[in-house]
């Protein structure tokens, strides 16, 4: 039984009100980062295009606001052209269609959304490299052997496709990729690499790249969050305890390295002289993963994971929220997209907003995830 505290109800009410308010300008656009208080819109092909419709679906599920429903459906239809042009999409297919077509199918039972999501799952499965047992990340011949930790959050689309169709091949691919992550991305302390490079012809591991982290052997906090949530979801779909153990290992690393206010810095292992910039989006995603972990274990473990997830969300709400601001469209402040490239640093990010809303929705007792 979910017992809501006063701040959770207040945070959910504030989230619903702000989504409704910023919807008046954004509508069926695709926001990514808020610059100088206004969300910048990206093309439908951008990897974050699923998060705004996903956020609207979270709110619609509770409010039945028809304007949000119509805008979410319009976002989904704008993605259709990408399903016939694989050059414009990559491993982020899961992020894009799980939160659009997948969400609409779960809420409304819409058959057209089911078909879209299954087609997207086929395109994601087609990125699987059978020699290296990984789903390639980006396009381009020079990147044919690159895999990234983010893809753990795209695997649910494949697990879902197997559950819907009864065809185990999608699930087999997801499992193979998750196993490769365990073997080649995971370190003994529970931290994970962002990018691992394989020979696309032989499958041999060639090396590790820092990517959006400080260095190849550092600990990018959002990548850590992807691993917590992604491994917990793989355990949810497979029941294989190795994924649960991996999620727990990374969760312990994440929790042990949080600062006093429970919201992580962008990298847990950067060098002296590098600014201690936060990444609220990493905190929000990790909180959702911790809440799922709490459902998968018992007793003291469950209480610890749930309490830490709540602590992160409470800090995001009280210390990082922009609820009353008339000049800021983002829900939570101080997200960091790509610090090494100095790109969208210390700004609200739509995926941070989405995961914050998902976490609060879960605390409200809305237990069905879109993943």
How far apart CA 344 and CA 212 sit, in angstroms, is 12
Given the residues 13, 65, 80, 92, select the one marked as catalytic. 92
CB 48 within 8 A of CB 337: no
Q: Looking at the predicted structure, is the pLDDT value of residue 11 above 50?
A: yes
Q: How confident is the model at residue 4 (pLDDT cuts 50, 70, 90)?
A: low
Q: How many CB atoms lie within 10 A of CB 194?
A: 23
Q: Looking at the predicted structure, is the pLDDT value of residue 2 above 80?
A: no
Mean pLDDT of 95-108: 98
Tell me, what's the pLDDT at 85? 85
Q: What is the DSSP letter of 130?
A: T
Cα separations in angstroms, 328 against 31, 37, 39, 197, 324: 13, 4, 9, 39, 9
Give the residue with greater pLDDT, 220 vs 86: 220
Mean pLDDT of 32-44: 97
Mean pLDDT of 190-194: 98
pLDDT tens digits for range 291-313: 999 999 999 999 999 999 999 99
Q: Looking at the predicted structure, is the pLDDT value of residue 3 above 70?
A: no
List, as one string, the DSSP characters of 171-198: HHHHHHHHHHHHHHTB-TTS-B-SEEEE
Tell me, what's the pLDDT at 1? 42
In degrees, rounded to 5, the angle at the alpha carbon of residue 89 between the alpha carbons of residues 88 and 90 is 135
**Catalytic residue check, 92:** yes
Q: What is the DSSP letter of 101?
A: I
CB 269 within 8 A of CB 218: yes
* Burial (CB count within 10 angstroms: exposed 0-12, middle 13-18, buried 19+), residue 272: exposed
Q: Looking at the predicted structure, is the pLDDT value of residue 367 above 80?
A: no
Cα separations in angstroms, 22 against 37, 283, 306, 347: 11, 23, 30, 16
Structure tokens at 264: 């992580």
Tell me, what's the pLDDT at 325? 87
Mean pLDDT of 37-46: 97
Q: Looking at the predicted structure, is the pLDDT value of residue 128 above 80?
A: yes
Domains and CATH numbers, the chain: 6-363 (1.50.10.10)
Given the residues 28, 90, 150, 353, select the one marked as catalytic. 150
């Amino acid at each position: 039984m979910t017992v809501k505290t006063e701040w959770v109800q207040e945070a959910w009410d504030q989230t619903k009100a702000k989504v409704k308010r910023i919807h008046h300008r954004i509508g069926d656009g695709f926001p990514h980062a808020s610059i100088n208080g206004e969300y910048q819109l990206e093309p439908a092909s951008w990897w974050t295009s699923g998060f705004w419709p996903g956020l609207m679906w979270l709110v619609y599920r509770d409010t039945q606001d028809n304007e949000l429903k119509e805008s979410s459906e319009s976002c989904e239809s704008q993605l259709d052209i990408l399903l016939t042009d694989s050059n414009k999409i990559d491993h982020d297919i899961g992020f894009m269609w799980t939160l659009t077509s997948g969400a609409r199918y779960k809420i409304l039972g819409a058959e057209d959304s089911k078909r879209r999501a299954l087609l997207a799952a086929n395109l994601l499965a087609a990125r699987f490299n059978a020699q290296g047992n990984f789903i390639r990340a980006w396009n381009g011949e020079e990147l044919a052997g690159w895999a990234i930790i983010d893809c753990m959050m795209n695997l649910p689309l494949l697990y879902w496709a197997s559950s819907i169709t009864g065809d185990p091949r999608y699930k087999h691919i997801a499992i193979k990729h998750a196993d490769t992550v365990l073997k080649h991305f995971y370190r003994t302390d529970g931290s994970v690499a962002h990018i691992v490079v394989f020979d696309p012809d032989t499958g041999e591991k060639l090396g590790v790249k820092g990517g959006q982290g400080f260095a190849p052997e550092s600990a990018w906090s959002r990548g850590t969050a992807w691993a917590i949530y992604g491994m917990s979801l793989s355990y949810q779909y497979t029941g294989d305890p190795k994924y649960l153990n991996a999620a727990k290992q990374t969760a312990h690393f994440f929790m042990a390295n949080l600062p006093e206010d429970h919201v992580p810095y962008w990298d847990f292992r950067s060098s002296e002289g590098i600014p201690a910039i936060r990444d609220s989006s990493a905190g929000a995603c990790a909180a959702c993963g911790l809440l799922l972990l709490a459902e998968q274990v018992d007793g003291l473990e469950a209480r610890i994971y749930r309490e830490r997830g709540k602590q992160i969300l409470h800090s995001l709400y009280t210390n990082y929220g922009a609820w009353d601001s008339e000049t800021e469209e983002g829900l939570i402040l101080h997200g960091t997209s790509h610090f090494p490239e100095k790109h969208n640093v210390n700004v609200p990010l739509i995926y941070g907003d989405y995961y914050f809303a998902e976490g609060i929705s879960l605390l409200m007792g809305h237990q069905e995830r879109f993943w």
